[in-house]
Structure 1
Amino acid sequence: MESIKTQVQSVQGKPLHIKKAAVIGSGVMGASIAAHLANVGIPCYLLDILPQSLSSEEENKGLTLEDPQVRNKLATTALKRLGKMKPAAFYDPSFVERITPGNVEDDLRRIQEVDWIVEVVVENLDVKKELLAKIEKHWKPGTIVTTNTSGISIEAMAEELSDEFKASFMGTHFFNPPRYMKLLEVIPHPLTDSTLLEQMVAFCEKVLGKGVVLAKDTPNFIANRIGTYGLIVSMQEMRDNGYTVDDIDAVSGPAMGRPKSATFRTLDIVGLDTFVHVARNVYEQVEDEEEKQAFALPDYVQEMVRRGWIGEKGGQGFYKKIKTDQGSEILSLDIKTLEYQPKNKVKGTSLDAAKQAKQAPNKLKALYQADDQYAKLAWDLLKKVLIYSAEKVGEIADTIVEIDQAMKWGFNWELGPFEAWDAIGLVESVKRMEKEGLTVPAWVKEWVAEGHESFYEREADQLLYVNKGELRELQTRPTHISLKDKKSKKEAVLSNSGASLIDIGDGVACLEFHSPNNAIGADILMLIQQSMDEVRKNFKGLIIANEGRNFCVGANIMQLLMEAQSGEWDEIDLIVRQFQETMYNLKYFEKPVIAAPHQMTLGGGVEVCMGADVVVPHAETYYGLVEVGVGLIPGGGGCKEMALRASNQIESIKDADLQPVVNKAFETIGLAKVSTSAHEAKKLGLLRKSDPIVLERDAQLYRAKQEVLSLTNAGYRAPIEKKIKVVGENGKAVLQMGVYMMHQAGYISDYDRFIANKLAHVIAGGSVPAGSLVSEQYLLDLEREAFISLCGEPKTQQRIQHMLTKGKPLRN
């Protein structure tokens, strides 16, 4: 034990540096964890057991069980499967090369080369114990060893291992899929070294980009304990009170601040067999009989599993998709008859009220304040979850904060249980619970009796939360900057209906979009202009970032459609000119401009970023110039910027051919390509190779701020405009020939071809000789002319209308 203490103390205060890892177990979860390690630049081994038999293909090749390609088959097959996964497991498909497949018989000794060993084998205590014993034989003291488990006891797994091993051992429960799910529950063993634990938490947050919560070593830990309980409450409520699958999902989705998949769609996605396994884990391990019965599964659930109706992977579950003459139809299950019936569109005053309200707390409050059967159902679903969560404070987690964060990050709830309790009114809801005969935990009653009206309170500049009967400050990392928190402290310098300029300290301002879907309209353009004036006088630089679900879905196409249908061509010309001029001025602004996009960043959102000195995207940024999908081309400088980047790319290369580079840019815009990650956006040429990608979403704004300060300290000078080399008339003919071939092959429609030819004219530089040097304004004029002419086309207007009403492109 002394040796590990010495090693840990030697690194105290330093960040954990993991150069290489080993993942043992190549099932879906293990392979996906390996993929995410590869995503963040950590090469790893992926090991599994030896296969027990040969496939017919292997026999035909004359292979034996001793051949290396057979011995490594499980891991190599897993890597092939990763490449086909949807959503994609890798930020970039080439990252698969960072994973080396192997097997535990031949390659377990390789764990001496790594800094982190992740065990991800089957959820069976005996199997895990056996493997951990083998790992210890090859283990290099000080190497971190973690187990990925959804609920098996960490202490029980390690009971036969040495204390020295236990000091480096803990649970790391990744949520599936590991790339996309933010939650990572870290579960320490009683002997886990505290310094190593702190370092591991910081590493998982900063390097893996996870939201980490410390969980206690109890059945199913935090998120699955509370989440499973809530799902069973919904099942029991449906069975006992005659509600339908459609009723429960209508109430337990966005109306309550939960995902659209609500209850039963979520279960179909997860798999009913997986859910039953997790529920039984609690049922079999808890000792309190009342709690045990709370996790007892209804008979109809067990019958569904027996029949194989386990959800998507079984072809049917609580929902079933069938083909009809009109296409397809979704049916929902009647649990009384176990027959499927057409989905029922659920309506109610409470649901309407929730839909009209803005933001999750207000939606939840509106839902409960109504007086209909769905308001009552919402109350009956939530009240038990709130009480159960309160009962588990101290048992499954130290504070209410871990429970709230686990549910938000692991189940995608907008509000954790205690935040939801605050939203509906703590004092009144406790009275109602007691009136209905429910037992409210004593600590909650005592808190209310002391005169408190919520679990979270704001005092001056601090956010406080209740912990053991006292208010404690909610600590946040210095790298976590909250725009919401800044605005609550009245630090917004400018604001209108579409955006705000917020002082985030150290002489840096942040422009935040907050229009519906963060779509760019006249209000946002006006505030960008006003913000440049303000920053010019009072700040070192400007960041463009926000905390919306998506960074920006593009321009306000509804406003554009209304103007086009009214024939207001001068007004459209004015709007497009204003957009172009604003983006141009932003690009050549005398102070540094940094953009920090995340999630969906489309059309005009990309054009806003393209003029920034540095773009600091979150890794999960889905980035693309998608205007062709609504019958247009980029009109705010997107075409011009792609032509400029093509010109810059070949500028320093002697005798370089510009045409292939322009062809690629044309294809990216013409096919409305959207990246599946920030890494892919670089490959598409939409982001620069030098743009830094951030894994930790909560630290993205901080990183953008550091870029502003770094450029300022280096004596920032605004960029100087230079001419753009274009492929001209001859290059345009090449592009249009490609369009013709695609049309002839049936890949694009007549109208797609019409739009593509307009795009070719713009990105080629119009009717000038090949190799001509043109100005940015020249290309902007071509862009605007093509954009406005397309607005007048009936088929473009049809495409815009279809996107607004159906949410997907129309091929007309």
Structure 2
Amino acid sequence: MKRSINRAAVIGSGVMGSGIAAHLANIGIPVVMLDIVPRELTEHEKRKGLTTKDRAVRNRLAEQSKKALLKQKPSPVTTRKNLELIETGNMEDDLERLHQADWIIEVVTEDLAVKKKVMAIVEEHRKEGAIVSSNTSGISIEAMAEGRSKEFQRHFLGTHFFNPPRYLKLLEIIPTSHTDSDIVQFIAEFGENVLGKGVVEAKDTPNFIANRIGTYGLLVTVREMLDSNYSVGEVDSVTGPMIGRPKSATFRTLDVVGLDTFIHVAGNVHEQVVGKEKEIFDVPSFMKEMLEKGWLGAKNGQGFYHKKKENGGSSIYELDPKTLQYQERKKLKTAATEMAKQQKGTGNKLKALVGATGDRAGDLVWSVLKPVLIYSADLLGEIADDIVSIDQAMKWGFGWELGPFELWDAIGVSATVERMEQEGDTVPSWVHDMLSDGYESFYQKEDGSQYYLHRGGYQRQEDNPRHIDLKNLKSTQGALRKNSGASLIDLGDGIACLEFHSQNNAIGLDIIQMVNSALEEVDQNYDGLVIGNQGKNFCVGANLAMMLLEAQDDNFYELELVIRKFQEMTMNIKYSTKPIVAAPFNMALGGGAEVALPAAAIQASLETYMGLVEVGVGLIPGGGGTKELYLKELRNLPNGVDIDLMKIANDVFEKVATAKVSESAAEARENGFLNTNDRISANPDHLLFDAKKRALALAEAGYRAPAPEKVPVVGNAGYALMLLGAKTLQNSGYATAHDVKIAEKLAHVLSGGRIREGSLIDEQVMLDLEREAFLSLIGEPLTQTRMQHMLVKGKPLRN
């Protein structure tokens, strides 16, 4: 039987339930979200004369949760249109709607009795073959299935999403002893390929994998802070990016999660384990006192940190756990932290810290990492069958750069085991056996393949064909062509990939030269090209520092040459004889958007934040971005619709003049950066694979380069209208005189110059107008001040 999820149901509309419903809608799956019927009226409902029999009252909880999705930051939905896919109802009037669902997800309160009652109701109303899962973070999945029919039990399992479901990658699936293996496989494949998740299979134990180890690690860190007299800020200053953890480190993470949620998760384990482990999961008393005071963290503005307004600004203070008073934030700065900062790569930073015995920062890092490594090794076999699942769960669920066993390899297994035992710690026997058998690490790479230690020997980690690893490809086969800014890599099947790898992937002459070189190579020897990379962001634009220096030195001839070369590059992408597919992800801003817009197709990651943002530094797009966005909006018009040039020009003008950036790929489509032929990848790990497939499909369909275009423009009338809008904003106090000057240049470009409305001009004319406007603005002192401010402060300046 070939399965598919065409409709889903979510039972429970709290933050987690509504978040899961939102993510299903983001993927395009219609979902019904049900909650209990309220027993009392609100004051608002009483004033409206409603009763508990009215549907507006009976559906209130689910409907309020749906509306709340629009207010949450960051947004759980990729576009507000997705809310149309979420229907609401209640658990009394709408149970028959469960029969329509292919997947029913329970997300009610963490109480076994309540969950079992819900499962009985679900069994009565589900259709045969429908998958049912629980999103519990710690209650036994096996116990939930007790008393249900065999057919129900075969289709039942745990699916633990991490909050917020749109953004956090981890999905733990927890089968019971009765779950059919094909159901487990289907949900795992659906989770990865459709929902875009990193899926691991966990055992039915308290808190499963990530929360078990993550909560343990956080509590170990809290106790080390208390025992060794570190401050909250000192701990966070060394337990974040310096050791491969998120910027939120330890206590900011707890503030984001919410102290109430954390204590509940810790309690799940505390109730079900014994001995020393039980002691660790007993939350320190000062945290319980914080909970009583309601100091929960970000959700109510006060937790381990407290932001106070003072002297016309605001300052952030840290909590003193001994006095429960707030004090100035401290950072830990020692010889070890300074040494770590000079190292490249997380592994080397960790070695510098862990090896610095007697150093206050080094001792802290060792004291919080050591127990986590031992604990993770102790739990192998209990929470998961292999070390890969544990490592991936921690990376995907908690944002660790290295999982515990990868981290152990990075700092050296043999030496650290010896140190642990010298300090009186007991290392699991299987780790000893590993070292005795001559295995020095948990992982090993050979001939481009990854191996991991499993059952006494190295086992090859199965390659996922959808995961293209550019770093691995370069190490095994080298690059076709490369320079300091980019490399051309053979992806196989006649498709090449152009990878940007300059600092911050900023576009300079090196990347421009490499793009043109890559196009020559592809034209001669390949069927298509993907422009993509696996850095932090696709591309955040041109090299701002270089341009500012040239402008300050009055090297306008050099600047004009660079901008002309940039424009030639984007036109070469557009008119390439072979299909070019751009694969943007995360930030694709300014020049990054200008590289993507002229491509034959765009394959964007679900999380793509795209926009022409040059106005933020006092400029307008100079590489053809304004022209391409305008043309893309023209081409997006449905057949038979009258073209309203003025409306399109105004729309593009507004987006560029306000530096509008999409908050998702779906919103980038709404903003005109993607059209109906462009695609979106839910799983970022599949992005290059999907882009390669798209390039192959275009080539196999007989791709031909587009014919040169004539651009219809709005001329003088449009110019006047756009400028009027900018002047109106200035008169209302929303725009400065320099903003208006920038807007005037942008309007001049979009209108095609001072010509008649409806005139057709060559693309090159519009490019020349862009280049002239860009060079004129970069010579302005106020623009250079904006550029300097962005480079120093990382945010735009209004002047």
Provide the TM-score with structure 2 as the length reference.
0.98
Displacement of 1:562: 1.1
Structure 1 unaligned regions, length at least 5: 1-10
Residue 75 (structure 2) aligns with: 88
1 CA distance for matches of 2:278 and 2:423?
Answer: 22
1:338 and 2:324 aligned = yes
1:616 and 2:611 aligned = no
Bigger mean CA deviation after superposition, 73-82 or 494-503: 494-503
1:303 and 2:289 aligned = yes
1 CA distance for matches of 2:516 and 2:413?
Answer: 44
2 CA distance for matches of 1:576 and 1:461?
Answer: 40
Displacement of 1:350: 2.5
CA gap 1:809/1:774 in 2 versus in 1, 3 angstroms: same
1:357 and 2:306 aligned = no
Deviations along 1:201-238, one digit per CA (max 9) or x if unpaired, are: 10111111111110000000000000000000110000
The alignment's C-alpha RMSD in Å is: 1.4
3-state secondary structure, aligned to 2:416: helix
3-state secondary structure, aligned to 1:632: coil
Deviations along 1:666-690, one digit per CA (max 9) or x if unpaired, are: 1111000000111111111111122
Which of 736, 753, 757 matches 1:770? Answer: 757
1 CA distance for matches of 2:682 and 2:286?
Answer: 42
Residue 712 (structure 1) aligns with: 699
Displacement of 1:777: 1.1
CA gap 1:654/1:373 in 2 versus in 1, 3 angstroms: closer
CA contact (8 A) 1:499 1:511 kept: yes
CA contact (8 A) 1:357 1:363 kept: yes
CA gap 1:380/1:702 in 2 versus in 1, 3 angstroms: same
CA contact (8 A) 2:35 2:59 kept: yes
1 CA distance for matches of 2:773 and 2:110?
Answer: 59
Paired residue total: 798
1 CA distance for matches of 2:577 and 2:691?
Answer: 17
Deviations along 1:519-556, one digit per CA (max 9) or x if unpaired, are: 11222112112212222222221101111121111111
CA gap 1:374/1:731 in 2 versus in 1, 3 angstroms: same
Residue 146 (structure 2) aligns with: 159
1 CA distance for matches of 2:609 and 2:374?
Answer: 39
1:51 and 2:33 aligned = no
Bigger mean CA deviation after superposition, 430-439 or 365-374: 365-374
Provide the TM-score with structure 1 as the length reference.
0.96
1:126 and 2:113 aligned = yes
CA gap 1:179/1:596 in 2 versus in 1, 3 angstroms: same
AA aligned to 1:682 is R
Runs (4+) of structure 1 exceeding 4 A deviation are: 649-655
Residue 93 (structure 2) aligns with: 106
1:34 and 2:21 aligned = yes
After TM superposition, list the pairs within 5 Å mapping 1:132-211 onto structure 2. 132-211=119-198
Which of 239, 255, 259 matches 1:268? Answer: 255
CA contact (8 A) 1:647 1:725 kept: no
Displacement of 1:614: 0.6
1:637 and 2:650 aligned = no
CA contact (8 A) 2:193 2:683 kept: yes
1:782 and 2:782 aligned = no
Displacement of 1:354: 3.0
Which of 663, 668, 672 matches 1:676? Answer: 663
1:732 and 2:723 aligned = no
1:277 and 2:264 aligned = yes
After TM superposition, list the pairs within 5 Å mapping 1:181-580 onto structure 2. 181-287=168-274, 289-370=275-356, 372-580=359-567
Residue 701 (structure 1) aligns with: 688
1 CA distance for matches of 2:206 and 2:529?
Answer: 48
Residue 666 (structure 1) aligns with: 653
CA gap 1:497/1:320 in 2 versus in 1, 3 angstroms: same
2 CA distance for matches of 1:490 and 1:38?
Answer: 41
3-state secondary structure, aligned to 2:488: strand
1 CA distance for matches of 2:784 and 2:338?
Answer: 30
CA contact (8 A) 2:26 2:82 kept: yes
2 CA distance for matches of 1:502 and 1:179?
Answer: 31
Residue 676 (structure 2) aligns with: 689
3-state secondary structure, aligned to 1:643: helix
3-state secondary structure, aligned to 1:546: coil
AA aligned to 1:208 is L
Residue 8 (structure 1) aligns with: none
3-state secondary structure, aligned to 2:605: coil
1 CA distance for matches of 2:488 and 2:316?
Answer: 45
1 CA distance for matches of 2:297 and 2:641?
Answer: 59
Structure 2 unaligned regions, length at least 5: none
AA aligned to 1:613 is A
AA aligned to 1:804 is L
Bigger mean CA deviation after superposition, 114-123 or 765-774: 765-774
CA gap 1:309/1:612 in 2 versus in 1, 3 angstroms: same
AA aligned to 2:282 is A
Displacement of 1:653: 4.9
Displacement of 1:651: 10
CA gap 1:330/1:654 in 2 versus in 1, 3 angstroms: closer
CA contact (8 A) 1:643 1:726 kept: no
Deviations along 1:170-202, one digit per CA (max 9) or x if unpaired, are: 001010011111101100011000011101110
Displacement of 1:805: 1.2
AA aligned to 2:320 is D
AA aligned to 2:574 is K
